[in-house]
Amino acid sequence: MSLPEPSSDALAASHALQNLIAAEIADNAGAISFARFMELALYAPGLGYYSGGSAKLGKDGDFTTAPELSPLFGGALAQVAAAIIAQSAPRILEFGAGTGKLAFDILRELAAAGVVVERYAIVELSGELRARQQERLRDFPQVEWLDAVPASFDGVVFGNEVLDAMPVHLVSKHPDGWRELQVTIADGRFQYLEAPADAALLAQVDRQIPEHALLPVGYVTEVHGVACAFMATLARMLGRGQANAAFLFDYGFPAHEYYFDQRAAGTLMCHYRHHAHADPFYYPGLQDITAHVDFTAMALAAQDHGIEVLGYLNQSGFLLGAGIGDLLLRTDPADAAAYLPRARAMQKLVSPAEMGELFKVLVVGKGVELPQAIVMHDRTHRL
């Protein structure tokens, strides 16, 4: 691969993480699940991609998210937050807040509209990102950081590109059924090793993948057990509240679109300095590793634990229903220097050829109603 060469310090950190992973493989009879490898690569204390000290987002990082593209994204989410707060409580909870840009834009927009937010809580695993959030949000005294999910919650929950970064198991179809792709070391390198899938993994395959027996031999895909467990935790938290809604933005598909022949190698993707590639073993700790989200599996996990699916939309329909076009028109189109960059950013957010169709929004909760302008774009029937 033609990727930028890491610095000597970055290489040293990656080698330390590789040694840690190798030691765990040795302690586990020579192989670990890919989910465990991904967990260590992303979250190993002090060394993982999200727990280390390197920049993750923006031009100096590895990828750019919707909040980084334009304040219009956060402004649109603020309109929806205001509608939910009016029905519930003046509280917001965000999972994985990135640089803090989304929280900043939401709080600024709500303050300008006279909507009081008594508490904005952030659950963040990355020490580097938490530090950036604390700096950016220093003028908002209602912001606090949590180390765990609250037992119950009323208000609004946001999670932008959180589910895709949760560890996944990998499975491969064989003539006699499904086998797990584990991680071993051969010739001094991390490599895949096929192993029998245990009963829990096979049960997850059966629950997650419709008509999986009809998929061709050699088909490789992801099993989203960790993300489903997160959805169960989220559902329990919301279920203990009275009125709330959680909005989860990510790239992915419903199950009947996820398991196509053209995705026979799975959806695993890595991001390193704005280069996308498919090798998760390239310098562990220095690159993001993600998988597309199976939104049907996420919706079922929420329902299984007693919470409602309030909506499922593509990002385009959600943002247009939330009034992003009106927010753009706050900038005078005659002022080309100010208007055109914002218009281009909005186009990237809502265009079906850009983020508008690939990114989806799953809404779960209880005791509230979504604004009608958003409901009209609902695609829950496609889950």
Residues near 373 by beta carbon (within 8 Å), at least 6 away in sequence: 321, 322, 323
Is residue 166 packed enough to be buried (19+ CB in 10 Å), middle (13-18) or exposed (0-12)?
buried
Q: At what angle do helices 225-239 and 295-304 cross, to 10 degrees?
A: 40
**Please, which residues bridge with residue 246 across strands?**
157, 364
Length of the chain: 383
Read off the pLDDT of each residue in 289-301 and give the average, rounded to a whole number: 97
Interatomic CA distance for residues 93 and 154, integer angstroms: 9
- Hey, is 123 helix, strand or coil? strand
Longest dimension (CA), the chain: 67
Which residue is associated with the tokens 């586990």?
28
Whether the predicted pLDDT of 58 surpasses 60:
no
CA neighbor of 97 nearest in space, from 141, 60, 65? 65
Strand partners, 363: 247, 311
**β-strand pairing of 155-160 with 359-366:** unpaired
As a whole number, mean pLDDT of residues 141-147 equals 96
Alpha carbons 180 and 204: distance in angstroms, whole number: 12
pLDDT tens profile 20-47: 999 999 999 999 999 999 999 999 998 9
Q: For residue 322, is pLDDT > 50?
A: yes
Q: pLDDT, tens digit, for every residue of 71-124?
A: 999 999 999 999 999 999 999 999 999 999 999 999 999 999 999 999 999 999
pLDDT of 60 above 60: no
Token pair 């009323």 is found at: 154
DSSP character string of 183-252? EEEETTEEEEEEEE--HHHHHHHHHHSTTGGGSPTT-EEEE-HHHHHHHHHHHHHHHTSSSEEEEEEEEE
Task: Say what the pLDDT of residue 173 is.
Answer: 97
Residue 137 has pLDDT above 80, yes or no: yes
Q: Write the pLDDT tens digit of every residue in 366-376.
A: 999 999 999 99
Tell me the domains of the chain and their CATH numbers.
8-59+167-225+262-290 (3.40.50.12710), 67-165+231-258+293-382 (3.40.50.12710)
Where is pLDDT greater, at 3 or 249? Answer: 249
pLDDT, position 63: 61
Q: How confident is the model at residue 56 (pLDDT cuts 50, 70, 90)?
A: very low
* pLDDT at 22 (0 to 100): 98
Query: Which is nearest to 301 in space by CA: 364, 217, 220?
Result: 364
Look at residue 57 in the predicted model and tell me its pLDDT. 45
Distance of CA 16 to the CA centre of its chain: 27
Residue 107, classed as helix, strand or coil, is: helix
Q: Report the Cα–Cα distance between both ends of the chain, in Å, rounded.
A: 37
Distance in angstroms (rounded) separating the CA atoms of residues 96 and 102: 10
How far is the C-alpha of 182 from the C-alpha of 223, rounded, in Å?
A: 13
219-275, pLDDT tens digit by residue? 999 999 999 999 999 999 999 999 999 999 999 999 999 998 889 999 999 998 778
CB 362 within 8 A of CB 312: yes
Percent of the chain with pLDDT over 90: 89
| Cα Rg, the chain, nearest whole Å | 21
CA 204 to chain centre: 20
